[in-house]
Structure 1
Amino acid sequence: MGYIVLGMRISLVSILFLLLSCSSSLSQSTSTFSESLNDKQILDRLVHSQRYDRRIKPDIKPLHVNVSVVLLSLSSPDESSLHYEVEFLMHQRWTDPRLTYSDARNRPYLNALAHHTKIWKPDLYIIKHGSYKSINPTEVSLRVYKNGTIFYTMRRHLVLNCVGDLHIFPFDSPMCTFSIESVSSTRSQMEFHWSGLMRGDDSSAGSIVLSPLLKQHNAYLIHNETLVCEGEEWRGDFSCLKVQLHFTRDKWFYYTTVFVPGLILVTSSFVTFWIEWNAEPSRVMLGVTTMLNFFTTSNKFRSKLPVVSNLTAMNMWDGICMFFIYASFLEFMVVNYLARWVQDPENNKKKRENAILDSLRIVSTTLDLKHPEKAGTLGGQLHSFGGNLETKLKEVKTKLPTEITSKVPAIMQEKPLEKNGEETPAVVVPPAAVVEEEPQGPGGYTLTSVKKIDTYSRRIFPCSYICFVLYFFIRYHLIEGDLSIEF
């Protein structure tokens, strides 16, 4: 009985030895298939469990895996978001000597998509991006060539968390990155390499291929790069590849929805300077309406902006525009108050002075009377007015008939004035030409003095706002906006 059991054990050991030797020889040799077999039948034999183990990596150290990416679609939830959705195809190419074969039909490759679960594939995963978005199908193509080369294509959809210079929003250019790395194989076992459009000066960098049918929705790609993760390995010596996508924003969207309406509302508030001071309903309605419209437009748009703790370009734009609108409304209140103060009989009796009008008098004297000979200033106008008036009166007197001249009152007659012992003719202004003196308020102020505030505001407010607009767009759009794009 013992001899029988011993003989059975020896037989089993020999059978197992023969099976292992056969499988080893099959795995190391090139399989030859007849012409009558189709792709499925050939693959069934190539990946048979006794011949092929998908859990074991090809016996090549290091195994080179060539990777390329083709973008299919780019999208973003809205213009102000820093989240971008990217759909792409990732191609991988490597060599597995266990899958070499010879075909009598001379087929270039075998379609092995149905056998993708039975074939070893690189254990790569995508890191530093955000989150995945489920799509179907994820496995697109799997081809096995005669020399054992495998070409594998998979489809991925990522939601990228991007980085932007929010302090210059909306003139910034967000940059999105994601990396490709192996799960368990170190650099000595497996290396990833970019294939496709490579730069001439740097073989490790290149560009992503764009699909001819690339779709973009609220995502405007201006540049892309494929790089090697130099010094960015965070968990050991693993081969790593990196993709950088540079986006820009649709600035015309912000011009039409934010900046142009803001310009219109601010300049509309300046119209009050050309309306009379006593037209309270018109000026109040215009000031309050522009202020409320700006608040409504700004708050509606700001609800969609990214929340940041620091001051942004949009904060500066809103703050300065609101300042000009509110300042024009306050200017009307000051003018209306001072005009009523000047014409108030009680103030005339008390002879009180006004600090605002005192300051205005100093400013107007400095601006208008500093250079009376300079044309265009109020002093220059007054200086030329006297000479012109004297000349015109002489011309009128020479053209009047004698009978009318005899009836002119004595105030119209020329009276000699003595100057240095000599008599010089003096022209007296006729009663019809004498301008009735405007009633003066306390301190010698008049309504004309108050109206000068509107006159100065017509020039100061528009010029100051134009300077701010030029500074804003030159700094943020032309200078810092271009600097935010770093190739």
Structure 2
Amino acid sequence: MDIRRPSCALIILLVLYFTHPTECIQNNGKINFREKEKQILDQILGPGRYDARIRPSGINGTGPAIVNINLFVRSITTISDIKMEYSVQLTFREQWLDERLKFNNLGGRLKYLTLTEANRVWMPDLFFSNEKEGHFHNIIMPNVYIRIFPNGNVLYSIRISLTLSCPMNLKLYPLDKQTCSLRMASYGWTTDDLVFLWKEGDPVQVVKNLHLPRFTLEKFLTDYCNSKTNTGEYSCLKVDLLFKREFSYYLIQIYIPCCMLVIVSWVSFWLDQGAVPARVSLGVTTLLTMATQSSGINASLPPVSYTKAIDVWTGVCLTFVFGALLEFALVNYASRSDMHRENMKKNKKDMVIDPQANIDAASDMMDTDSNTTFAMLARCEVHITRQKNCCRLWMSKFPTRSKRIDVISRITFPLVFALFNLIYWSTYLFRDEDEEK
């Protein structure tokens, strides 16, 4: 009797059918592909079949392994000026070809296999070179997966949170723009064995409606940053995030209050010079408030060696407030001098005029040469004409020197402060980006 030998696949199906019939036959006799996935994984990743310690070969079996990188920025939580760092949460993806993992896709019905254990296959030794802190997300399950495609392509995706260093140039603070980088490099494999490339098309995506408290993400740029050391050349990728600082917050919290303090210090120019307690308390209060404002601003910034734009603003405002206080000291000194002069005039005795002396003087005047008299009168008229200009006429309305100092300060301080504002804003608002670097 001729008995044909059944195939191995038929024997496996028969065994599975009698042991687990409900798992083998579903949906009107169709095979359960989840069981087929298990069989394929055991086939390609079984003991003695695959070694995760050996890197895959490159294109056509030669050259370095090519790993394509893709990022999805989920959120940017904080950007710290004092620590010069920023925190970001992203979905990180790597994709490479490992021909040892090829399998039969059952006529296109099996698109890919999914793994949750990264140590089952070879992984690139990528690390973030400017990372300070970082952690994976494990709630409820580890947020990571590996997909193996029929042609041997491997897709690795994981969600991570990173705190990265961001060296900042604060010369134009708070009118500045900052560039924060995210750098990824190979730790042990040189470019002869492993090369990182940005995925073609759209290598970096950013979540829509990304809101930052004090910054706006203007744009991002991808680039390469291969580094050479004494142990070889290592592949490196970077993405530069360009942040623009939101100025409205600083305008409301710093610039407008400082302007108000400077203007309040000018109120003492309009008070009577005899109101010593009022003018002293006003000057000292505005000076202390301005000093407190300046120290509070510097407390939220790192101690850098250069001068920032906010330092120029607070320093000049503090100088104006201090100048108003010194102006009162000058007014008080001039007022006491004016009182001393008035007392000297009152105590001065009236001079006794001798009538006979006046007659003799008049007769002497009549005997002088008429040409000399006319020349002296002409000189006096020229001298008087030169002195009678607009300023002297206007200042003659204020007989005391203390009052004149107050009047001059009422005009000089606002004009100089307005000129400073014109120079300050034109310098920092219209500064070229190249000068920032």
Give the TM-score of the pair, scaled to structure 2: 0.74
Partner Cα distance (2:295, 2:436) in 1 = 29
SS of the residue corresponding to residue 326 of structure 1 reads helix
5 Å matches for 1:407-418?
none
Displacement of 1:145 in angstroms is: 0.9
Q: 1:324 aligns with which of 320, 344, 347?
A: 320
5 Å matches for 1:474-485?
474-479=426-431, 482-483=433-434
What corresponds to 1:239 in structure 2? Answer: 235
AA in 2 matched with 1:112: T
Displacement of 1:36 in angstroms is: 3.6
Could you tell me which runs of 5 or more consecutive residues in structure 1 were left unpaired when the two chains were aligned.
1-33, 199-206, 352-367, 383-437, 439-445
What corresponds to 1:132 in structure 2? Answer: 133
Cα gap change, 1:288 to 1:223, in 2 (>3 Å):
same
Displacement of 1:278 in angstroms is: 1.5
Cα gap change, 1:250 to 1:136, in 2 (>3 Å):
same
5 Å matches for 1:140-159?
140-159=144-163
Q: 2:272 aligns with which of 273, 276, 288?
A: 276
The aligned length equals 362
SS of the residue corresponding to residue 112 of structure 2 reads strand
Partner Cα distance (1:191, 1:379) in 2 = 84
Mapped contact 1:369–1:379 kept (Cα < 8 A) = no
5 Å matches for 1:294-313?
294-313=290-309
Mapped contact 1:71–1:87 kept (Cα < 8 A) = yes
Partner Cα distance (1:283, 1:134) in 2 = 59
Q: 2:167 aligns with which of 152, 163, 167?
A: 163
Partner Cα distance (1:87, 1:319) in 2 = 39
Mapped contact 1:176–1:245 kept (Cα < 8 A) = yes
SS of the residue corresponding to residue 297 of structure 1 reads helix
Displacement of 1:148 in angstroms is: 0.9
Q: 1:472 aligns with which of 394, 415, 424?
A: 424
Partner Cα distance (1:162, 1:320) in 2 = 30
Partner Cα distance (1:43, 1:478) in 2 = 62
Q: Does 1:341 align with 2:293?
A: no
Coordinate RMSD, CA, aligned: 3.0
SS of the residue corresponding to residue 103 of structure 1 reads coil
Partner Cα distance (1:190, 1:329) in 2 = 69
Mapped contact 1:164–1:173 kept (Cα < 8 A) = no
Partner Cα distance (1:278, 1:93) in 2 = 82
Partner Cα distance (1:216, 1:342) in 2 = 61
What corresponds to 2:378 in structure 1? Answer: none
Mapped contact 1:339–1:447 kept (Cα < 8 A) = no
Which deviations, in whole Å up to 9, do the C-alpha atoms of 1:399-451 show, x marking residues without a partner? xxxxxxxxxxxxxxxxxxxxxxxxxxxxxxxxxxxxxxx9xxxxxxx853331
Cα gap change, 1:186 to 1:369, in 2 (>3 Å):
farther
Partner Cα distance (1:121, 1:485) in 2 = 41
AA in 2 matched with 1:340: R
Partner Cα distance (2:334, 2:213) in 1 = 57
Q: Does 1:43 align with 2:41?
A: yes
Partner Cα distance (1:350, 1:79) in 2 = 67
Which deviations, in whole Å up to 9, do the C-alpha atoms of 1:225-269 show, x marking residues without a partner? 110115x43452222212222222222221111111100000111
SS of the residue corresponding to residue 168 of structure 1 reads coil
What corresponds to 2:106 in structure 1? Answer: 104
Cα gap change, 1:250 to 1:81, in 2 (>3 Å):
farther
Q: 1:194 aligns with which of 170, 182, 198?
A: 198
Mapped contact 1:43–1:112 kept (Cα < 8 A) = no
Partner Cα distance (1:316, 1:452) in 2 = 31
5 Å matches for 1:204-283?
208-212=204-208, 214=210, 216-229=212-225, 232-234=227-229, 235-283=231-279
Mapped contact 1:272–1:283 kept (Cα < 8 A) = yes
Cα gap change, 1:132 to 1:105, in 2 (>3 Å):
farther
Partner Cα distance (2:187, 2:426) in 1 = 48
AA in 2 matched with 1:109: K
What corresponds to 1:114 in structure 2? Answer: 116
Q: 1:458 aligns with which of 403, 410, 413?
A: 410
What corresponds to 1:314 in structure 2? Answer: 310
Could you tell me which runs of 5 or more consecutive residues in structure 2 were left unpaired when the two chains were aligned.
1-29, 348-383
Partner Cα distance (1:380, 1:458) in 2 = 14
SS of the residue corresponding to residue 266 of structure 2 reads helix
Give the TM-score of the pair, scaled to structure 1: 0.67
What corresponds to 1:285 in structure 2? Answer: 281
Q: Percent identity?
A: 30
Mapped contact 2:90–2:159 kept (Cα < 8 A) = yes
Partner Cα distance (2:387, 2:341) in 1 = 35
